[in-house]
Structure 1
Amino acid sequence: MSRRGLRKAGVRTAGVLFLVVMSALVLLSIKIYRKDFVDSVPVTLQADRVGNQLRTGGQVKARGVVVGEIRDVRATPGGAEIDLAMEPGKVSQLPKNVSALLVPKTLFGERYVQLSIPDGPKAGSLSPGDVITQDRSANAIELERVFDNLLPLLKAVQPQKLATTLTTVATALEGRGDQIGDTLATAAAYLKEFNPNLPALNDNIRDLATVSKLYGDIAPDLLDALSASAVTLDTVKEKRAELASVYQQVTSSSQQVTTFLANNRANIIALAADSRAPLEVAAKYSPSFACTLDALAKLKPQMDKVLGAGTDEPGLHAEIVVTQPRGKYVPGKDDPVYDATGEPRCYPSNGLMGQGIAATGEKTAALPGVQGDLGLPNSPQERELISTLVAPSMGVPTAEVPAWGSVLVGPLYRGTEVTLR
């Protein structure tokens, strides 16, 4: 073999050796990374499920101390099996009846295996090939459920945005602790005063429900009324020009009335004051107005006859008789005297009677003016006459007869003729 051939063979041999050395170094690195050369105690953890945050190489802790690592995670029909490599120097302190719990390092971090050492009697230490079961206590299940439900929620709200929001809130609240405390204290005082009024608030809400139900019942009628009012409003809209004219006229009239009242207010007040006495007299004698007008109406045929109405000789017809003179008028002797007394009464005109009580017969001094028509039922005149009639039978003076006697006895006497002796 030539020198050149030997040289080529040496180069090829060196290349192969280089590749073998590189492969050995890579394999050694992998072995070292996988800690194949580190002494460990292999145990198996059986879990219902592991989730996506449990990775090979994860930590195994007991009471906060790292005691091993996760070597492999395998899925099984009943859940999952996790190969754990425990440190030989620490495995002697872990009993066989230890249990495991899969918890995350942080809210968003990977999970690790947390070994729970029971408080009761402990079995022997863990040995290679032992099987550890998952902690299924109530607290462990509840904690795992919280983390399982919280993780999807935190993913949905996007942690980076949540962190930004919390930072903004913290910045806004920084330095305002006293104000927030005062606000909370004020709110607590308001609530303390409001609590006694809660029963009244409940009653008001209950009454509001009743009123709302009532409004719901009358809603159809209310809608009908509103529909009907629409016609009226349309009419007002059509007649708005006429209404505007009326308003203007009313305004003008009001101004004129205001001017009149302002100019004549003294006269109006004086007229009202002067009219009071005549009006009081008219009010007193008002019961006699009806029979007076009735008598005047009945007197009309006789006056027509006196004046010759309907005859060929119109004018005043009278029979005049000349008698001896009674002497001249003597002042102080023949002066008229206005000494009439008593209440207003109605007297018959030309023998015509009304519908009241007619009293005839002898007059006595105790019964002044009782002869004639007493006018309206239950009037003061009728009550006076009835009191005069029933007082002797009751054995009491006339003034002590009850005023309501005319209501009971009046219907018996009305339309009859009574003779007083």
Structure 2
Amino acid sequence: MRPVNSRYVLIGAAFAVCVALLAVLSVAQYNRAFDRVLPITVLADRSGLLMEPGSPVKLRGVEVGSVAEVTSDGTGARLAVELDPAQAERIPAQVTANLVPATVFGAKYVELRPGPDTGEHIAAGAVLNRARVTVELDHTFDHVMDTLRGVPPSKLNAALTSVSGSLRGNGDRIRALIADTDGYLRAFNPNLPELESRLPQVTAVAEHYRDVTDDLTATASNLGGTGSTLVEQKRAFAGFLLSLTELGNGTGEFLDDNGPPLVSALDELQPTAGLLRRYSPVVPCFFGGMVHNGDLIRAVTGGPEFGGTHPNTHVTVSMLPGIPAYEYPQNLPKTGVDTGPDCHGLPEVRGIPPYVNYDTGANPYRGTDESPRLNPDLLAVYLFGPLSPLGGGR
């Protein structure tokens, strides 16, 4: 026998160790032992069929992780989920999970649905409670079988015969109904995000209704009492309605007889009403000024009991030069002058208000005439009495 070379033995052993190490590394790589993951937990009432480790986890159709383990804690299913840390930064903290199948008979995957954006992303160790699981065919068949077991065959046959008879000959109408429903759903689907955003507001509305429930109940009770009163006093109520009918008939006859004059009167009053409406802002100013002036007068002449300083009024009368008489045609009156509403500082005027020339044809502030003037009519009255022809007598 030839002696065994120890060198070849060592090389063979090293090769076997390398092969075993590569196999272990391949298995570990397949099990994602070297991947950096962010672990979270999803809790559901059940995991359903075909939910196995390795099932994808998706957000808006993009795979963001996978299911690492599916276990049961006695009250429901517990799914250990491993998220890709790079994708986890784009997943909001307020997120929910659904266990849905890709097809009717396909394997399930975890669908993440984002909630309100709070600016925070999901963290390691997060627990998503109450994950919703889609209804599966086996559960549907179980419910159908339970229903069929509880229904007598004769009644089931009669019901199916009735359904068959109602569907026979109505294929076109059913097709049109399905097409209309499809069109309605296609038009409604774009509004689902807005509907979803408005649903939280329903809670606030429900709370408002809850707060006023007692008042609504009391109102309903009062309406019941009102209804009972109307029933008890139905004769009087019928008489009231009859008198109201007579009033309406009389009013109708009156309007028929006097309708044109009323319309004419309203037409005639329209310019006056328009003028009053335009100058209506001056009315509060005027009455406010009257009240303020009354307070000022009472403060002076009202006596001590009204907070005044003097119990009476002292008036000083003096003679002032008169203004020139009206002259033609300079002082002819003008109509239709439109200056617009203006309170001029009322109700409390501060200082002396500025003089406003309203251009009515007369100017009382054009100055005084201190030169002596002779009034022949007044002189004739003084000299010959009121019956003098020169004084305007008869």
| TM-score normalised by structure 2 residue count | 0.34
**Structure index of larger Rg:** 1
| TM-score normalised by structure 1 residue count | 0.32
